[in-house]
Chain A
């Protein structure tokens, strides 16, 4: 299996955080006011913008660096 890029790891972390805090990605998308299409792209292809990861980290109250932790 190919090694995941940091952006893809960030997308996976977002998926986990949503699973821990919401019943569905749609519910999160409504609350966070984000297009479901954009959210799917972040989760499946990765998050490329640093500021976007910083915003999610702040929202879920975790450190920026923890977004790249694969555990």
Chain B
């Protein structure tokens, strides 16, 4: 293996260790095929290129020398500081198994035996649900609802393209530790962000801020294509100072981790103070928790009636779509050729299908209920990003800070 490939493998190992997004480094979006494709990390085939190396330094929070010398202790710096990363790997591994199967995960010994003797030592996952039974109940429910809302059940039509989704709870005893460490990472980012507005940071702080910013996918709230790396904060320093806000989340939006949905852990609601801190970081998570509450206690059944009407939009939306089609030189799709309406209905799980989750579901429902009924409080930001006319001034100030570049 040549030296460049070795270096590329070493760097990819860092991305894998931390589960970092490889987009724009190892993968790129192909506009022609509309798919992500693997690409070589460096432009050349003999030697690395300076531009990519500099981008990697910022993204990974490492110096050029640490990357080029393949310094493993530098790689582990954040791993050792924040237990979150190891715990998050464990969380994902458990989630991957329990989202599909109800029996315990295979032990390391069973996994090893399976690798060595695949046929003699298979790993068997036991499915949770009998979906035929769910389908029967769904049809009964549609007929029942038809008595209240006539037309719900289509007598002379068939159910097509049926897809049944559901969610599950699973146990992850280290959930609180993982969340504490995550909050610690956010707090540290906040601390370094405000420090960088006022003062220059030292190398260690710059590397930590850059790494955390990349991992958290922390972006300027008014300019979401700009990560709050040290250099970008310096570019916007004057703007941030003039805005003079004390609430970090009025400046910054964090986009990573929330999608992992840690509320799937049975232990998530053990510490409500911690949960409230989580919602303060991700206000939209309350809605996501509610969606999860629906799908963990019910089956979400999506299907298309064979006689379903084509999807229709409001006249305003139709005009907008038509304008867009004209822009790209496409003709409007005739209404009878448009996709048919999709039906979604939730079917309650039976007590057997809920296993021993009722307690967790009750806590989840209470947390996602209206605030006036004791549900989680949503944070009120010092300055909301879409407040008019503030938003216009804030965007203009950022464009000006970048020297007028959009």
Distance in angstroms between the alpha carbons of A55 and B369 in the assembled complex: 11
Interface string of B367-388 (1 = CB under 8 A from A): 0111111000010000000000
**A6, B290: Cβ atoms closer than 8 Å:** no
User: What A residues does B298 contact at CB under 8 A?
Assistant: 54
Contacts A49-B344, A54-B346 given: A65-B148 contact, CB under 8 Å? yes
**B294, A55: Cβ atoms closer than 8 Å:** yes
**B345, A59: Cβ atoms closer than 8 Å:** no
The verdict on B232 contacting chain A, using a C-beta distance below 8 Å, is: no
Contacts A31-B378, A50-B345 given: A55-B148 contact, CB under 8 Å? no
Specify the chain B residue showing the minimal Cβ separation from A65: B148
Partner of A31, one of B149, B152, B297, B370: B370
**A22, B372: Cβ atoms closer than 8 Å:** yes
**A21, B370: Cβ atoms closer than 8 Å:** yes
The verdict on B284 contacting chain A, using a C-beta distance below 8 Å, is: yes
Find residues 40-71 in chain A having any chain B CB closer than 8 Å to their own CB: 49-51, 54-55, 58-61, 65, 68
Interface residues on A, range: 20 to 34
Distance in angstroms between the alpha carbons of A7 and B148 in the assembled complex: 10
The verdict on B286 contacting chain A, using a C-beta distance below 8 Å, is: yes
**B145, A59: Cβ atoms closer than 8 Å:** no
Instruction: Identify whether the interface residues of A are mostly helix, strand, loop, or mixed.
Output: helix
User: What B residues does A51 contact at CB under 8 A?
Assistant: 300, 344-346
**A61, B373: Cβ atoms closer than 8 Å:** yes
Distance in angstroms between the alpha carbons of A61 and B364 in the assembled complex: 12
Find residues 1-48 in chain A having any chain B CB closer than 8 Å to their own CB: 6-7, 21-22, 28, 30-33
User: What A residues does B293 contact at CB under 8 A?
Assistant: 58
Interface string of B354-367 (1 = CB under 8 A from A): 00000000000100
Distance in angstroms between the alpha carbons of A44 and B104 in the assembled complex: 50
User: What B residues does A28 contact at CB under 8 A?
Assistant: 370
**A6, B149: Cβ atoms closer than 8 Å:** yes
User: What B residues does A7 contact at CB under 8 A?
Assistant: 149
Partner of B370, one of A49, A50, A60: A60
Distance in angstroms between the alpha carbons of A21 and B145 in the assembled complex: 27
Specify the chain B residue showing the minimal Cβ separation from A41: B314
Distance in angstroms between the alpha carbons of A28 and B287 in the assembled complex: 12
Find residues 18-73 in chain B having any chain A CB closer than 8 Å to their own CB: none
**A6, B344: Cβ atoms closer than 8 Å:** no
Distance in angstroms between the alpha carbons of A28 and B343 in the assembled complex: 26
Distance in angstroms between the alpha carbons of A32 and B298 in the assembled complex: 20
| Min distance, Cβ B59 to any Cβ of chain A, angstroms | 31
The 6 closest A-B pairs by CB, nearest first: A33-B287, A51-B344, A21-B370, A6-B149, A21-B372, A54-B346
- What are 18 residue pairs bridging A and B, where the CB atoms are less than 8 Å apart in the complex? A21-B372, A22-B372, A28-B370, A31-B286, A33-B284, A50-B152, A50-B344, A50-B345, A51-B344, A51-B345, A54-B294, A54-B345, A55-B290, A55-B291, A55-B294, A58-B297, A59-B290, A60-B370
Sample of 6 further A-B pairs with CB below 8 A, known A21-B372, A22-B370, A31-B378: A22-B372, A28-B370, A32-B287, A50-B149, A51-B344, A58-B290
